[in-house]
Structure 1
Amino acid sequence: MSATQTLAQFIADTEYEALPVPVVEAAKIAILDGVANMVAGSVQELADIIGRYVRDSGGAPQASVIGWGYKSNPPAAAFANGVFGHCLDYEIQGFPPTHGTSSCLPAALALAEQHRASGKSIITAYALGWEIQGRLRAASAQATAPGHHPPGLVGPLGGAAAAAKTLGLDGQQTLMALGIAASRTGGLTANTGTMVKSTHPGNAARMGAESAILAGMGYTASDEVLESPVGYAAALFGGNFNWDAATGHLGDSWRLTDPGFDIKRFPAQVYMQNVIEAALNLREENGLDPEAIEQVTIQRQGRGHSGPVPRSGLDGKFSVEYCAAAALLDGQVDIDTFTDERRFAPDMEEMLGRINVVPEGPESGATLSTALLKNGSTVTAECNAFRGSAKNPMSRDERLVKVRDCFNRALSDADTEKVVEMMENLESVNDVAELMGVLGQVAVSRD
């Protein structure tokens, strides 16, 4: 079989019972984190635009738009929920980075709600979507141009894999879904730090759902879309594609557990996690008063996407200087850290001028933070593997602190606990529409 056929048949043939127990448990952790991100994202400033856009565009009321109290067609709902899931930059991240949750999970949830599918179907679809997306990312990472945002390139196929499995498509139909999705790829890194970035996974979820729906209706595409001389690998990566990484040893191991994923402790780019924790360690370990700081030097590998003066709170998620300054000033970094109000506050403007970044950190990858104090003394701290990373995982209680904070921004306390209970026992949920009925209510902050 060709590479495309091999992946399609693997998707079609894999059932919940074939998933190893550790993969099921990892999927449930990732899905709960992903849904929490969608809920918290649904009340962000950019969500007000997306929510109104999808509502005003109309569509058959088949799938819930989280936090908005209305339903739309599954591709539209998947798009909105995908944007919500990614806009905080708070979702888990795999290796190499690709944002598999916001590309795959919204498509599966929208179609599962429409077709009254089970929680087991969501777990299976998510595990497969994450697997396919992660494999394609690993296969192409060495040839991905810096101007391409990876979830725009691999996300539509991950979304299509998850959607095809949710709909129960056979091997041939899944092959067509992948073929359709491969022609829906794109996304530019230039839009990092803007609202558009979150539409890359949102669009992947929408295109994944649409591709699977069309394939199920008989729409056709190339049956060798990945390997064709004028296909996916050739067009996007110049043929520089690791085929063994894409199709080798399917089912022998799963990317959800090997190499696993990082759970973000802070709602910022994954490369900012060590930066923030190192700055927090500097403050906490030394009882540091921000007013006592003359200058802070951050040593790390790489400069970061955004510069020392981020254009907005949203852009601050990608700025080493901003993330460090917020940690030092506030002693915490949370969703509210990245508002424009916090970004342009006088103390922030002043502190940004005291942060110096040295983009040649130690080979270990650790981030070192050093503060020169106004009294002439120097204090230091570091972070090598942030809490929540695969090397330093969170406990269940720590994960639930994050999850509940996200849920409480749009759900009542009672509904928060109801959702946590359902999702921690997702394999026992018979009808995903029950879960989406709670998530789809108008957010308490919008009501």
Structure 2
Amino acid sequence: MTTLTQTLADFAVQTRFEDLPQPVVHEAKRLLLDTIGCALGAIETTSGKIALEYVSMLGGTPHATVVGSDRRSSARAAAYANARLANVLDADDTFPTSTHFGNATVFSALALAELDKRSGRDLLGAIAVGFDVGARIGSWMGAPMQIENGKVIGWNELGGPAATITWAAIGASTHIARLDGRQANHAFGIGGSNSPQPTLRKWAESIEQPMYKYADAGWCAEIGVSSALLARLGSTGFKHILDGENAFWKFYGSPTHDDHALLAGLGTDWQILNTTYKPWPCCRWIHHPLTAFAQLLDQHALRPDEITRVVVRANPFALTPIFREQHPRDLLSAEFSHAHALAALAHGIPAGPRWYAAATMDDPRIAAFRERVTVVPEPSSSNIAEWMTGGQWRGVPGGVDIHARGTIFSATADNAIGDPWTGATRFTDEQITRKFGVMVGLDVNGDGGDELRRAARDVADVVMSLDELPVERLTASLDALSRSMRAQGVEA
């Protein structure tokens, strides 16, 4: 009998680009462009500068591109820096197991694509396959809470989403490194046993966030790259890490698992089509109230100085102290503050690194608006288990009540902008491209200097044509864009 581990490992290495449906290829391109933009948007943040300086200190054979830098580094170090950068602003895509792993999927694959001189098709295939592996592992381990008879009865002491970032990187890396089934099995064992600790509960209780949230996406990407390279050299790992009484789900701390969710529709139901994109650089759980808030601002032409109070109605995940914080002290903490997100949106701050620039964080208008925001539970999402399908969320309601002009304007959003499951919320190619432009220093209209605009447009065009191009064409356009950003003095 083929084990769960071997079945998933065989999928990772035997799937070819020709096996991918056209919508999956297109989504891999969209994810690639969005993730690159998120990384470039973070290069002038404190955390981003640390990542770049750290990789510079490491040195290494210049095999791979370090986004935003004029230096190349080893595949392992480049994967680290780029994936960490992509997660810094919390603007990267979110899969409905409440996990970000597009960052490690994209940049572990890109680093090895450069090392082994793969094609654009190889890179896109690795992104689709790696994303599927991460998504399936997350769905397999289920939600970070305990559910009985359809109701939430408590929160897990261990488990959580961090390990899925590593598994996505492992899947992408084993695919693009062209391992055979035996080597991939060992790569799974090597990487799975070196996954990050389950720190979700510690993260949830911390108002002041560490720079890597609940796991450093860079290390997760690095684990994927190292696992594939070690296995290709002949190193071994646990052969049955997903199987048996002491399988990964158990020693990682998840109270349960769902083997059906792990393998159902493998190779036909592509999970990358279920990822969500972020129009705003903050936690995805804030996006449902933000969607309702944006709709009301637009519908009623509300100005921030007219708003005397905003009551945010949030789902159970977004009610912990960090989400209620009105005066976040740094970028990472502000990314989880309902009050800061609403203040930035109300004042028209471009949705990118400028949300967390010192000029925004210290703006007295922003601080005053944050004081007027309170957070309460959203009644229709009180039982979050009702909104789950196969270990994933397809929508969790959130809303706002805006007090202005002597009345109350109210709205609730079951789906947030960027959710792919409704036509009204699905992020279009144009929206992804516009977001990419803002991340690299253009304004919302795509203006910001001819050179920068041309360089950004070239990267977007290359990504969308990557199935017909070598990976070197992508990295050359990235280098040109990075130079243009530096010349333009783009800052967070």
TM-score, structure 1 length as denominator? 0.92
Aligned match of 1:72: 73
Structure 1 pair 253–242 and aligned structure 2 pair: CA distance change class (3 A): same
Aligned match of 2:284: 270
Alpha-carbon separation, structure 2, partners of 1:85 and 1:115: 23
Contact 1:300–1:365, Cα closer than 8 Å, also in 2: no
Aligned match of 1:337: 355
Alpha-carbon separation, structure 2, partners of 1:400 and 1:226: 38
Aligned match of 1:366: 397
Q: Which range moved further: 150-159 or 404-413?
A: 404-413
Contact 2:173–2:225, Cα closer than 8 Å, also in 1: yes
* 2:89 partner SS: coil
Tell me, which stretches of 5 or more residues in structure 2 are unaligned?
146-154, 382-394, 443-447, 488-492
Aligned match of 2:369: 351
* 1:318 partner SS: coil
Structure 1 pair 247–47 and aligned structure 2 pair: CA distance change class (3 A): same
Aligned match of 1:286: 300
What are the superposed Cα offsets for residues 93-144 of structure 1, whole Å, 9 maximum, x if unpaired?
2222221211211111001011110011111111111111000000112357
Structure 1 pair 420–292 and aligned structure 2 pair: CA distance change class (3 A): closer
Aligned match of 2:85: 84
Contact 2:351–2:438, Cα closer than 8 Å, also in 1: no
Aligned match of 1:298: 312
Contact 1:148–1:186, Cα closer than 8 Å, also in 2: no
Aligned match of 1:434: 473
Alpha-carbon separation, structure 1, partners of 2:277 and 2:72: 30
Alpha-carbon separation, structure 2, partners of 1:331 and 1:362: 30
Q: Give the number of equivalent residue pairs.
A: 443
Q: Residue 250 of structure 2 is aligned with which of 229, 234, 257?
A: 234
* 2:269 partner SS: coil
Structure 1 pair 249–360 and aligned structure 2 pair: CA distance change class (3 A): closer
Tell me, which stretches of 5 or more residues in structure 1 are unaligned?
none
Aligned match of 2:53: 52
* 2:291 partner SS: helix
Q: How does 1:21-420 map to 2 (within 5 A)?
A: 21-142=22-143, 150-187=160-197, 188-189=199-200, 190-191=202-203, 193-197=209-213, 200-237=216-253, 240-257=256-273, 260-302=274-316, 303-305=318-320, 306=322, 307-309=324-326, 310-330=328-348, 333-363=351-381, 365-373=396-404, 376-390=406-420, 391=422, 392-408=425-441, 412-420=452-460
Structure 1 pair 29–119 and aligned structure 2 pair: CA distance change class (3 A): same
Alpha-carbon separation, structure 1, partners of 2:398 and 2:263: 35
Q: Which range moved further: 398-407 or 64-73?
A: 398-407
Contact 1:114–1:433, Cα closer than 8 Å, also in 2: no
Contact 2:292–2:412, Cα closer than 8 Å, also in 1: yes
Deviation at 1:394, TM superposition (A): 2.5
CA RMSD of aligned residues (A): 2.4
Quick one: percent identity of the two aligned structures?
Answer: 24
Deviation at 1:284, TM superposition (A): 2.7
Q: Which range moved further: 358-367 or 143-152?
A: 143-152
Structure 1 pair 342–194 and aligned structure 2 pair: CA distance change class (3 A): farther
Structure 1 pair 32–238 and aligned structure 2 pair: CA distance change class (3 A): closer
Alpha-carbon separation, structure 2, partners of 1:297 and 1:126: 40
The letter of the residue matching 2:437 is R
Aligned match of 2:6: 5
The letter of the residue matching 2:403 is L
Alpha-carbon separation, structure 2, partners of 1:332 and 1:339: 11
* 1:378 partner SS: strand
Q: Which range moved further: 157-166 or 342-351?
A: 342-351
What are the superposed Cα offsets for residues 74-106 of structure 1, whole Å, 9 maximum, x if unpaired?
111000000111111112222222212112111
Contact 1:282–1:369, Cα closer than 8 Å, also in 2: no
Contact 2:128–2:272, Cα closer than 8 Å, also in 1: yes
Deviation at 1:252, TM superposition (A): 2.8
Deviation at 1:358, TM superposition (A): 1.4
The letter of the residue matching 1:293 is I
Alpha-carbon separation, structure 1, partners of 2:458 and 2:256: 47
Contact 2:462–2:473, Cα closer than 8 Å, also in 1: no
The letter of the residue matching 2:99 is T
TM-score, structure 2 length as denominator? 0.84
Deviation at 1:191, TM superposition (A): 4.7
Structure 1 pair 149–415 and aligned structure 2 pair: CA distance change class (3 A): farther
Alpha-carbon separation, structure 2, partners of 1:272 and 1:296: 14
Structure 1 pair 372–249 and aligned structure 2 pair: CA distance change class (3 A): closer
* 2:257 partner SS: coil
Alpha-carbon separation, structure 2, partners of 1:159 and 1:313: 26
Deviation at 1:253, TM superposition (A): 1.5
The letter of the residue matching 1:393 is R
* 2:252 partner SS: helix
Aligned match of 1:424: 464
What are the superposed Cα offsets for residues 335-370 of structure 1, whole Å, 9 maximum, x if unpaired?
311234322322222222211211134348433322
Structure 1 pair 53–396 and aligned structure 2 pair: CA distance change class (3 A): same
Deviation at 1:198, TM superposition (A): 8.1
* 2:103 partner SS: helix
Contact 1:281–1:382, Cα closer than 8 Å, also in 2: no
Alpha-carbon separation, structure 2, partners of 1:114 and 1:402: 29
Alpha-carbon separation, structure 2, partners of 1:376 and 1:358: 21
Deviation at 1:292, TM superposition (A): 2.8
Structure 1 pair 372–413 and aligned structure 2 pair: CA distance change class (3 A): closer
Structure 1 pair 12–377 and aligned structure 2 pair: CA distance change class (3 A): closer
What are the superposed Cα offsets for residues 51-90 of structure 1, whole Å, 9 maximum, x if unpaired?
0111111111111111111111111100000011111111
Deviation at 1:173, TM superposition (A): 0.6
Deviation at 1:288, TM superposition (A): 2.3
Contact 1:160–1:209, Cα closer than 8 Å, also in 2: yes
* 1:369 partner SS: strand
Deviation at 1:276, TM superposition (A): 2.0
